Amino acid sequence: MSIVLPPEHLQKVLGYTFSEQRLIKQALTHRSFASTHNERLEFVGDAVLNAVVGRSLYIHFPKLNEGELSRLRASLVRQESLANVASELNLGDYLWLGEGELKSGGHRRPSILADALEAIFGAAWLDGGFEAAQSIIERLFVSRIESIDPARALKDPKTALQEWLQARHHALPLYEVVRQEGESPNLVFEMSCSIPALKVTTLAQGPSRRSAEQLAAGEALGMLKEKYPGKAPRRA
Amino acid sequence: MSIVLPPEHLQKVLGYTFSEQRLIKQALTHRSFASTHNERLEFVGDAVLNAVVGRSLYIHFPKLNEGELSRLRASLVRQESLANVASELNLGDYLWLGEGELKSGGHRRPSILADALEAIFGAAWLDGGFEAAQSIIERLFVSRIESIDPARALKDPKTALQEWLQARHHALPLYEVVRQEGESPNLVFEMSCSIPALKVTTLAQGPSRRSAEQLAAGEALGMLKEKYPGKAPRRA
């Protein structure tokens, strides 16, 4: 039987002590453990995380446009990134999980870790006001934001995907129009980006073929990096 | 030549006077008018809007789960809804638009109105802190949130779509699996929902076929309602 740590040390690391301890407890409770679980808090936390990180990026990168800010934020708050932050906090040691999740290693599962981290942000907002949530989030993300090299992080995703595939001797991705709707200037294109050999297909929408392709390519590259962390498959 | 109103009256209606008037001016400036325009502010404003509305819904509807809260929020902050709020504020009268946008009625275009409204929320956050943005947003959205009937608003989207189509004598939508990925419990299904006769196809992802179908159906219904406001086409 695994032991769940009480959240005192976690709160020290976060730099915030909850007035209502039931809120941090709820944030650390997976739905498999109890009916009062962290999913509603995660909804609030996801929103405050996006807002705080968005504002920090706005201030830190005065020359970037909104699309670029949006892409940087997406990379900071994607499940994989949040799970990394959660791992650094040893969040898994504080989680209340049901029997099945415990046995299958739920306290190391990226989705469970990322959701609990967001729930903590939401709980902090409800407990201590917006500034409480903001200070926890900024403490965890400020170094990540400051270490972003926009030129590298914002490399055109189609190029980055192409380079990733070529380095592994794979064929180029296929881009196809899935849907085209509306009238100028409100056209919407939906493009797919497929890499059949690696069983990845993504879809994205944008106001032009090119913008939708870039988004789909960026998502495909993200999926490939998650699917094949470290050594990636080369074509035989 | 149309006259742009100075933003004094608008600030009275919003219940907030900017310390830095250049920020409200920027929020009201479309990219067609000047290089210092509202798109970056819109990025910040979109995030604070989602956070504030999300928290209000969380508090107002203690029994709803995160998926339901998410659907309610999406309906409140979709472009059409924001354009309605903007119209009630006569926001179009305060917008700085380039010549071309002016001539083509840009000050009544939903996307331009919605974007400027979000930019105002972002500008208020930067100008007066989070509470300034929160109070403007709550003032504009509180009655909308209080008038939500969750039972009606959250009617199962597949059923709602089916009823909408049947009332207009159209065939039922087609649902198809576009993609299936990952392994349990992290399965991802991508489903399409098509209504060929009305040229609408949507895609959505979810952890099950059913959840992805519901999301795709909800999006299709939203698109149909936007495409055919008021009287909708009946099959001949």
- When CB atoms are compared, the residue of B44, B70, B199 closest to A58 is B44
Amino acid at A157: P
d(CA B85, CA B125): 19
Q: Which tens digits make up the pLDDT trace of B21-41?
A: 999 999 999 999 999 999 999
Please report residues of A whose CB lies closer than 8 A to that of B47.
47, 50-51, 54-55
Please report residues of B whose CB lies closer than 8 A to that of A64.
40
d(CA B151, CA B223): 21
Mean pLDDT of chain A: 91
Residue corresponding to tokens 């100008």:
B127
Closest-CA residue of chain A to B227: A182
Please report residues of B whose CB lies closer than 8 A to that of A201.
178-179
Residue A232 confidence (pLDDT): 56
In the predicted structure, residue A195 carries a pLDDT above the cut 80: yes
Q: What percent of chain B has pLDDT over 90?
A: 65
The 3-class SS string of A156-177 reads: CHHHHHHHHHHHCCCCCCEEEE
- H or E segment at A126? helix A110-128
d(CA B189, CA A32): 22
**Residue B155 confidence class, pLDDT cut points 50, 70, 90:** confident
**Residue B234 confidence class, pLDDT cut points 50, 70, 90:** low
Domain positions in chain B are 8-148, 157-227
Tell me the catalytic residues of B.
Answer: 46, 118
DSSP E strand stretches across chain A: 174-181, 188-195, 200-206
d(CA A97, CA A32): 6
In the predicted structure, residue A236 carries a pLDDT above the cut 80: no
Residue corresponding to tokens 């969750």:
B150
In the predicted structure, residue A23 carries a pLDDT above the cut 60: yes
The question of whether A156 is a catalytic residue gets the answer no
A with B: how many residue pairs have Cβ under 8 Å apart?
78
Rg of chain B, C-alpha, whole Å: 20
Query: Measured on CA atoms in the order A53, A59, A65, A68, is the torsion positive or negative?
Result: negative
CATH number, domain A157-227:
3.30.160.20
Residue A230 confidence (pLDDT): 57
Burial bucket for residue A166 (CB in 10 Å: 0-12, 13-18, 19+)? exposed
Closest-CA residue of chain B to A178: B201
For residue A205, list its beta bridge partners. Answer: A190
Superfamily of domain A8-148: Ribonuclease III domain (1.10.1520.10)
Q: Which tens digits make up the pLDDT trace of A90-118?
A: 999 999 999 999 999 999 999 999 999 99
Q: Which tens digits make up the pLDDT trace of A121-140?
A: 999 999 999 999 999 999 99
Rounded to 5°, the CA angle B120-B147-B202 comes to 70
